[in-house]
Structure formats: structure tokens, C-alpha cells
Amino acid sequence: MEQNAPEKKIPSTHANASNLVPKEERLSLIHLIAQSAFFLIQGKLSNAVNNLVFSTSSLMYVSMRREYVSLCPVNIPLNIPV
């Protein structure tokens, strides 16, 4: 009867553990790559937002100065006797 019984093809616990280690290493490598890409994108986005904020505040400063200058009369006739 033993000859007719099919062999079980279930790997042992040790085989399962050794098969799992490379998968975990690959997953941790993929996680590291994804995390570094996220930090790179986050840095670029942060720089873009900072540039936008500073350029907007700079434009507001320039426009306020132009408004102030435009309120001052530029061509004031001076009556200076010669």
C-alpha cells in the first residue's frame, strides 16, 4: 500500500523559512527605493512651494512700492529764481 500512496510535496518549515528570506530582502529593497523616491519628490515639492511663496511676496512688495512711487508727483515744477 505504501507504494501506491503519492508523496506529499509540502516543503518543510526550514525550506519555507529559507524561501521567505529573499522575498523579505527584496521587499525591504523595494521599500527603501520607494521611500528615497518619496523623500526626493518631497524635497523638490518643498523647494517649489518655497520659491512660489517668496516670489509671490516679492511681487507684492514690488507692486506696493510701485503704488507708493506712483502716488508721488514726479515732475514737480520748482520755482527757483536764476
Is residue 20 assigned to a domain?
no
Is residue 50 assigned to a domain?
yes
Is residue 60 assigned to a domain?
yes
Is residue 53 assigned to a domain?
yes
| Position 21, amino acid | V
Is residue 49 assigned to a domain?
yes
Which pLDDT belongs to residue 35? 92
Cell of 46: 518643498
Is residue 66 assigned to a domain?
yes
- For the segment 23-43, what is each residue's pLDDT rounded down to a tens digit? 778 888 889 999 999 998 988
Block means of pLDDT (10 residues each) for the chain, length 82 residues?
60 61 79 91 88 75 57 55 58
Which pLDDT belongs to residue 12? 64
Domain that holds residue 54: 42-70
Which pLDDT belongs to residue 51? 84
Is residue 3 assigned to a domain?
no
Which pLDDT belongs to residue 23? 75
Q: Which residue has the cell 515732475?
A: 75
Count Cβ neighbours within 10 Å for each residue of 27-62 and write b for 16 or more, e otherwise: eeeeeeeeeeeeeeeeeeeeeeeeeeeeeeeeeeee
| Number of domains, the chain | 1
Predicted TM-score (pTM) of this structure: 0.38
Which pLDDT belongs to residue 17? 59
In angstroms, the Cα distances linking 6 to 1, 10, 12, 16, 81 are 10, 12, 17, 21, 123
Is residue 4 assigned to a domain?
no
